[in-house]
Structure 1
């Protein structure tokens, strides 16, 4: 069973980027099951085998039950796919191409199943494209150069920008598209940050890097923008 309230965790790190595993440990503590069922969905990377192996290597030693949902070599029929997703405590979506991820999910009906899982209390989470997908829109390199994608599952109001501090052009580019109205106001994650939403509201922000922040970016006037850093708690080895 998951904790009460519909939850989404945006991750600025985890098994694919960090050696300490702090954000992965934090993620697993956000559900009440002491041995949570966690399903990795690597669609955005084209179900890259090495990415899948890294997930399994990271989570098999933990007190959880990890599985992987592949769509490029799909094995489950519609009924089994829905049953498997709805049986999870945590969904973890990997990084890669946000636009491709959304298109493939819709082709297989996974977008509708994830909405249902969210309403039932499954914690949805992910890094990079796996953070972008839950919002109404995102800042993405899905088409090569950084640009705006006014598309997503809409479970978080507004937009999301990952890698706010680590990729050239992210900060200025995201502020520009919010300032012009191409994307609505939203959340910008620096690497190392985890942000937890319950029923659409931000309830917790943590970081494994003391100087990293989550920012609220909003439009002001015709082409202005504000950027507000939100306080974070530091996750430590526990």
Structure 2
């Protein structure tokens, strides 16, 4: 019994059960609503911004596994910040995935309706506190009418903020020199183009043995002629 109590004390997530934390639950959710940054629904895409990219083990970052490049949160971070403003310098904001576990799925890792920017000091709540997660799920549904294919439409939480931060207009965030911005976008585009080429090569390499073992397939005949 004593060991169990010690385990509870040593688990920082258990602070959510304290009455003092429950007292500040609603103000915390309100603070996230007032400070989070969402993509304007008029700029939304229901396709992943960077296909064939997902999160994986840290040691695999940059590798291509079964045709998919393993990321940390770099591509997701680029996707939402470029959608909000390709010219703004965001400071101390972290990209957060709304639906737990979806960052490991290439369909959802860089899908804009699954992403939100939250101040660094609050961002971890989106990973481990279900009251916040459920509010973010419903906000995404409210804005974009989207949820993962495997999940049901989220229900409106018992407590849901009425006031959310206004959308940021791109034209109001012209912070960098345009030449520098254009150059950065060009470099990023070229980088991802190289990634896509590597991904396609990896896909073909995995399929060639199957083609060779199936001589009736058209791809096998083409290889034979080559």
TM-score, length-scaled by structure 1: 0.25
Q: Bigger relative contact order, structure 1 or 2, given CA contacts below 8 A and separation 6+?
A: 2
Structure that is richer in strand per residue: 1
